[in-house]
Amino acid sequence: MSAGNPVLDDVDGWDRIGHSQAYAQVERLPAPLALELLKTIKIPDNLDRLDIIVHDNGCGIGAMTSVLESSSPRLQIQATDASPSKCDEECLNVTTEIADSRSLSQTHDDWFDYTFSTFMICLAPEPHRLAQEMNRVTKPGGTLALAVWADPWTKACKQVDGRHERLRIMDDGWTDPEQVKAGLQEARFKDVVLVTEKWP
Ligand SMILES: C[S@@+](CC[C@H](N)C(=O)[O-])C[C@H]1O[C@@H](n2cnc3c(N)ncnc32)[C@H](O)[C@@H]1O
C-alpha cells in the first residue's frame, strides 16, 4: 500500500515536486551497486551479441545503463523512465524513451532478454503492477535483475526504541527481501534468488 505518500502515489511527482532533482544527488550511489548486480547475475561474456536486447526500466540518470555499456559496449539497451528530465541522452547502442513502466503499451510481450531495474520498484506507485509488466515484456527464460533499497535503519531504530516510526518513503512490500520474493513470484517470475548487499 502506498496511500498518502506524494512520491509513491504519483509518478509525475518525480518531476513536479522536485524529487528527481533531489534524487540526482543520490543517484551517484547506485553505480557501484549496479556493478554488483551485474556481477551477481553472471551474464555471459558474449552478451553484446546484437540480438540481445536489454531494458533499463526506470533508468533515472542511467547508472545501470552506464555500467552495462562499459561492460558490453555493443549491447542494445533500451532505457526508459517516466520522468522526462531523465531520458535526454542518446548513446550509440542505447535508445531512451519516456514511458510509464506500469503500462509499456509500445512494447511487445516477451521482448527483452534481460530486464534490469534498480531502485525503482521500492519507490514507485503500484509496484505490483510494475512487476507484472516487467514479467510481460521479459522473454520466457529471460532474466529480471531487480535491485531495491532495504530498510536496516528503521530496524536498528526500533531495537533502540520500539515506538520509533519511520518516515515512509518506500513501499514496505518492496524493501523486505522475503516480501520482494513473494511479490515477484506473484508476478509469475520463477527461480527467484535473493542477494543482500551490505553496503557501503
Ligand atoms: C530512485 S530512482 C532510480 C533510478 C535509477 N534506476 C538508479 O538506479 O539510479 C527511481 C526512478 O524511477 C522512476 N519511476 C518512478 N515511477 C516510474 C514509473 N511508473 N515508470 C517509469 N519510471 C518510474 C523515477 O522517475 C526515477 O527516475
* CATH number reported for the structural domain that contains residue 84 in this entry: 3.40.50.150
Residue 42 lies in a domain: yes
Q: What mean pLDDT is reported for the chain? A: 82
Percent of the chain exceeding pLDDT 70 equals: 75
How many Å lie between the centroid of ligand 1 and the Cα of residue 160? 33
Q: Whole-model pTM? A: 0.86
Q: What is the pLDDT of residues 26-39, one digit of tens each?
A: 666 788 899 999 99
For residue 29, being part of any structural domain is answered with yes
What pLDDT, in 10s, does the model give residues 37-67? Answer: 999 987 776 666 668 999 999 998 888 998 9
- Whether 192 is in a domain gets the answer no
CB of 87 sitting under 6 A from ligand 1: no
Q: Which domain holds residue 65?
A: 6-186
pLDDT score at 77: 92
Q: Is residue 199 assigned to a domain?
A: no
Q: Is 81 in the pocket of ligand 1 (CB under 6 A)?
A: yes
The answer to whether residue 193 sits within a structural domain is: no
Number of domains in the chain: 1
Q: Is residue 134 part of a domain?
A: yes
Mean pLDDT score, 63-84: 88
- Is 51 within the bounds of a domain? yes
- Ligand 1 centroid to residue 124 C-alpha, Å: 7
* Higher pLDDT, residue 166 or 1: 166
DSSP string computed for 62-125: THHHHHHHHH-TT-EEEEEES-GGG----BTTEEEEE--TT--TTS-TT-EEEEEEES-TTTSS
